[in-house]
Structures are given as structure tokens and as C-alpha cells.
Amino acid sequence: MKTFNKDPNFSIVLPGGCNAACSFCFNKDVNKGVKTIPIADYIKSLDKTLKSLPEQFYQISITGGEPLLSPYVIPVLSLISTMKDKFTNIIITTNGTNLKGMIEYVSMAVDHINISRHHFDEKMNKDIFKGSYNVTDDDLIEIIDLYSKKGIDVSLNCVINNTTEKKFIDNYISYAQSMGFQAVRFRKENGTLDKTPVELEFADYKILWEGSCPVCRTTLQNI
């Protein structure tokens, strides 16, 4: 296998549904019509694939659906935990569901947790997620405390669009700081690379660092 990226990422999209129904989610139909693979066969195939990856692959990203609701998640985390010498940066993206109950399994494999949260107001965030999603601010505070004790940092991921205003960005960052999150990443809705109006408002800010997102490979900036 060859890769032309010096810093490649291997993404594991776990089979299974999600307890949310975000209108902008490009993964919401990911498992429709997909034939279910027996867990033992899935793990055997994943094990073979991971062991065959070139040395440049040191990072794994785990997503879904909602990965912590997938019946495959515990076997996958258990498998990855045996490969920590090969994969030194393991990221899981989740809406926060089951993070408290799954701490034993998540902490043995994962280095970084990326929680999707699309509004700083608890009620408005829940309205965006819809479904049976019900992660509260108190839950998030407890999650940060539990995982920080395990040496795992927790960050936020927020989807923005053409209606997002700078005031929202400022308020969201203040919210994240008050809660104790390590970082915030703002991502545009899937489908366009054109700059949103709020991005243009930040155009004159000094760029401290620029690179590419290790997962989706789009431009990533710290300003």
C-alpha cells in the first residue's frame, strides 16, 4: 500500500445508528441498505487491515453513526488497545452519549475525545440534535472531569453555516472555556468550500498556524 500523504489518518466508521437526527449530518443514511457483518468477521477483517497499514499511519479516527451506540464499539476499542505501539493518536468523535458508562473501554484505547455540540445553549443544542439525544451541560462537566483524570483531553466540534454570526462564535468559545474544554473546532456544513460570511469576518486575524485537518483533510487554522 502507498500513501502520498506524510501524515495519513485511518477512519473507522462503526456500523450502527444514531440517537440524533441532525439535518446537516452526511452520515445519517450511512447504514441504510448495508448488509450487517457478524462482529467476529468485522474484527478479523479490521485487525488484518490495521496490521497491513504502512508505518506512516499512526492515527485512527473513530466515528459513526453514534459510535458509542454501535454493537461493534467494545470489540473495536479492545482491538485498538492492543495496537497502541503502532497507533499513538486515537480520536473518537461522539455526541457524548454513553461516554460516562463506557469510560473503561474508551480510556483503554482513546487519546482524544471530540464531542459534537452545535449550540452553547442547552435547549437550542438539543433542538438541533433532535431524536432521543439528551446530553446535558452537567453530563459534559462530569465527562471532562472523568476523562481528564485518565489523561484524556476533551474538545468540542461545532458545525457552522452561512447564517452563523461572529457573536455566536465568541459566545461559543466563552461557553467552552467556562465548561473546561481543551479546544473548539468550527466546521462548515458538508457540501461547499466557499467561505461563509463569518469566516470573512475573521479574515484579517493573524494566522498562528495553518495545516490540514488530520481526519477530513480540509484546511485547519489557529488564529
What are the residues whose beta carbons fall under 8 Å from the beta carbon of 153, sequence distance 6 or more? 112, 113, 147, 182, 183
Query: Sign (positive/negative) of CA torsion 30, 31, 34, 37?
Result: positive
Confidence of residue 1 (pLDDT cuts 50, 70, 90): very low
Residue 122 has pLDDT above 60, yes or no: yes
Cell of 65: 453513526
Residue 35 has pLDDT above 90, yes or no: no
Instruction: State the pLDDT at residue 57.
Output: 92
Torsion of CA 70, 71, 72, 77, to 10 degrees: 80
**Neighbour-count burial for 163-180, b at 16+ CB within 10 Å, e otherwise:** ebeeebbeebbebbeebe
**Mean pLDDT of all residues in the chain?**
89
Greater confidence, 223 or 197?
A: 197
To the nearest whole percent, how much of the chain has pLDDT over 70? 89
